[in-house]
């Protein structure tokens, strides 16, 4: 039997240009580790538009940013990776919600398994080897619709235990902690990730019910998307993972299984120091989330998307970017 086709997709904002290469390195390492250059496809959107945030050209030029993105493309070429890159410079706002919706729709027709990448993520080197095995086994058991998630860091309440990395589950959740590897604020390097995972002899594969995941590293069999599940167009920017989850529940009433690969750790570096650089007017603010939150438009989008993600079937007015930016 031939290997299943896998597509992994990620949108990278221009202000993440100093951070994304480690993500890309982790993906390429995983492709090569499983000898999957023929069946894994990497999709990237390098977002260059300044239609929400503006570039502080006293710190870096747009051409310098483009050059840094082009080095990433050359890295893929040098490693014989199948890929597609969109250098996005249109005036229309195009967010992670738009990208993931389109990625699902396009690649469900071209691949058997989809994976949501993220610029602050590091994927385990065993990623594609595991996904190939999981999909092949599921198909042999006539299980064509499923989602999956790797082990994640220690989270703030027990509802997340089903997807916490095995060695993190019994660790304490320490609010604001950035010193311990299992903590949500800790920034993990690629070498550290490989040490944490060590040599994986046997997978600890569990079922998660009710669903529990975030968007960083979500794995979806293409038949789920082909059946109609996706991120609603009412979502502008955030909560797209919650919206996808509720779409899945609406279509399948929790009948599609979620697998948790608990003893394989996937990194989500939420507090990466290079996550949000070169944005005009933000140099005096510490922290990527804090920088974004100081924008009035972000607070409005967050609230509108929160409503639509949790109750898309209600009679609330669906706001657009025009409404947000024009204070309508």
DSSP-assigned letter for residue 237: S
As to burial, measured by CB atoms within 10 angstroms (0-12 exposed, 13-18 middle, 19+ buried), residue 286 is exposed
Between helix 20-33 and helix 190-197 the angle, nearest 10°, is 40
Please tell me the predicted confidence (pLDDT) of residue 19: 97
Instruction: Determine the Cα–Cα distance for residues 216 and 269; give it in Å rounded to an integer.
Output: 10
Helix, strand, coil in percent for the chain, rounding step 5: 35, 15, 50
Please tell me the predicted confidence (pLDDT) of residue 289: 82
Please tell me the predicted confidence (pLDDT) of residue 328: 87
| DSSP letters spanning 73-103 | HHHHHHTT-EEEEEEE--SS---HHHHHHHH
Asked if 260 contacts 208 with a C-beta cutoff of 8 angstroms, the reply is yes
Asked if 107 contacts 8 with a C-beta cutoff of 8 angstroms, the reply is no
- Output the CA torsion sign for 282, 276, 17, 89: negative
- Structure token pair of residue 87: 């250098």
Please tell me the predicted confidence (pLDDT) of residue 174: 96
Asked if 42 contacts 83 with a C-beta cutoff of 8 angstroms, the reply is yes
Domains and CATH numbers, the chain: 6-325 (3.90.550.10)
For the whole model, what pTM was predicted?
A: 0.97
Asked if 177 contacts 186 with a C-beta cutoff of 8 angstroms, the reply is yes
3-state secondary structure of 258: strand
Please tell me the predicted confidence (pLDDT) of residue 314: 87
- Output the CA torsion sign for 177, 175, 268, 164: positive
CB atoms within 10 A of CB 134: 21
Asked if 271 contacts 183 with a C-beta cutoff of 8 angstroms, the reply is no
| DSSP letters spanning 149-198 | EEEB---SSGGGGGGB-TTTTTSPP-TT--SSTTSTTPPPPHHHHHHHH-
Please tell me the predicted confidence (pLDDT) of residue 199: 83
CB atoms within 10 A of CB 283: 13
Contacts for 174 with CB less than 8 Å, ≥ 6 apart: 180, 183
Asked if 225 contacts 123 with a C-beta cutoff of 8 angstroms, the reply is no
Q: Is 254 left (phi over 0), alpha (psi -120 to 50) or beta?
A: left
Per-residue model confidence as pLDDT tens digits over 256-273: 999 999 999 999 999 999
pLDDT, averaged in runs of 10, over the chain (328 residues) = 94 98 98 97 98 96 98 98 98 97 98 98 98 97 98 96 96 96 97 94 94 97 98 97 97 96 98 96 88 92 96 90 93
């Amino acid at each position: 039997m031939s290997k299943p086709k896998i597509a992994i997709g990620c949108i990278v904002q221009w202000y993440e240009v100093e951070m994304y290469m480690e993500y890309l390195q982790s993906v390429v390492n995983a492709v090569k580790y499983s000898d999957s250059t023929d069946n894994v496809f990497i999709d990237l959107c390098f977002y260059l538009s300044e239609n929400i945030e503006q570039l502080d050209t006293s710190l870096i030029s747009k051409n310098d940013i483009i050059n840094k993105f082009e080095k990433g493309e050359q890295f893929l070429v040098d490693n014989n990776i199948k890929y597609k890159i969109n250098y996005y410079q249109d005036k229309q706002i195009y967010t992670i919600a738009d990208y993931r919706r389109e990625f699902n729709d396009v690649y469900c027709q071209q691949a058997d398994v989809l994976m949501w990448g993220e610029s602050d993520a590091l994927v385990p080197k065993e990623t594609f080897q595991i996904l190939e095995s999981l999909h092949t086994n599921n198909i042999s058991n006539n299980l064509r619709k499923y989602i999956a998630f790797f082990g994640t860091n220690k989270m703030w309440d027990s509802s997340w235990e089903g997807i916490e990395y095995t060695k993190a589950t019994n660790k304490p959740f320490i609010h604001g902690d950035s010193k311990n590897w299992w903590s949500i604020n800790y920034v993990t390097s690629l070498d550290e990730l490989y040490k944490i995972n060590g040599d994986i002899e046997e997978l600890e594969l569990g079922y998660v019910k009710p669903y529990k995941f975030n968007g960083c590293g979500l794995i979806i069999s293409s038949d789920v998307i082909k059946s109609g599940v996706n991120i609603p167009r009412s979502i502008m920017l955030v909560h797209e993972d919650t919206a996808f989850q509720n779409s899945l529940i609406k279509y399948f009433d929790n009948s599609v299984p979620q697998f948790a690969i608990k003893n394989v750790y996937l990194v989500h570096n939420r507090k990466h120091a290079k996550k949000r650089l070169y944005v005009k007017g933000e140099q005096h603010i510490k922290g990527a989330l804090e920088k974004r939150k100081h924008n009035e438009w972000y607070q409005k989008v967050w609230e509108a998307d929160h409503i639509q993600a949790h109750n898309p079937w209600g009679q609330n007015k669906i706001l657009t970017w025009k409404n947000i930016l024009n204070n309508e």
